[in-house]
Amino acid sequence: MLWIDRNKLRTQLMAGTFLNLGSATSVEIAADTGFDWLLLDLEHGSGSVADLRSMLLACRGSSAAPIVRIRSVDPDTVKFVMDSGAAGIMFPYVSSVEEAKRAVDCIKYPPMGTRGVAGAIRATAFGRDWKPYFEQANDKSLVVVQIETPEAVDASSDIAAIDGVDVLFVGPLDLSVNLGCPGDFSQPKFVDALSKVVKSCSDHNKTPGILTKPGFEQQHKELGFRFTALGADSLAVLQAMDANLERLRQ
């Protein structure tokens, strides 16, 4: 079972990318590239829960920890995703302390949470590693809550204070839309919101994360973001296709 390296999470830049094509082959290519973590997107991506296990298998043997973004804080989906061998879950649009607490409750075993316990699941090598998995899961399963609204930014300190929340991950496009500056990551009110999230994380020893974009990587590093993703498999294919066609047309 490949978990996120907690020492790196707290002290170093952890590089990731988004995978939204629902393709195990795409996941395999990304896993072999050398990213620290991969985001398998079941919220906006083309893949379904039925595709998830093959995507998780495509990470096997690599050093990239698979994090799965689901559509909402749903206990049944959380249980299936974690039983399937994910290292953690990204919960979208978390705007309150109550939602963040529900996310932690769903992903953690009792007494910390209410996740159901099973022995013969893929995460435990179908029972061979049940005891070590059970003993480590509460400490090592990663809880990533997305900060995508002004309300979430305002509540970020209280969210970061919750035991079990590991990463406050800014969804920049949603946040920019909700702040009234769609897609403009340079607006002062947007940058101020990012700074507030980073400070909340620093105050509570949690990790700030963001999906950055070309031209903003250095700024986001300097602001303090460490759990950082850039690009997606769909964008990589799109850009390569456009470039190839342009070369042929010249």
- Give the tens place of pLDDT for each residue, 59-107: 999 999 999 999 999 999 999 999 999 999 999 999 999 999 999 999 9
Dmax over CA atoms of the chain, in Å, equals 64
Flag whether 188 is in a domain.
no
pLDDT of 115 reads 97
pLDDT of 31 reads 97
Q: How many domains does the chain have?
A: 1
Flag whether 182 is in a domain.
no
Report, as ranges of residue numbers, the positions in the chain whose pLDDT lies below 70. Answer: none
**Stated pTM of the model:** 0.95
pLDDT of 1 reads 78
Non-local CB neighbours of 60 within 8 Å, separated by 6+ positions: none
| Active site residue ranges | 44
- DSSP assignment string, 12-59: S-EEEEEE-S--HHHHHHHHTTT-SEEEEESSSSS--HHHHHHHHHTT
Flag whether 198 is in a domain.
no
Q: Which domain does 48 fall in, by range?
A: 6-147+213-249
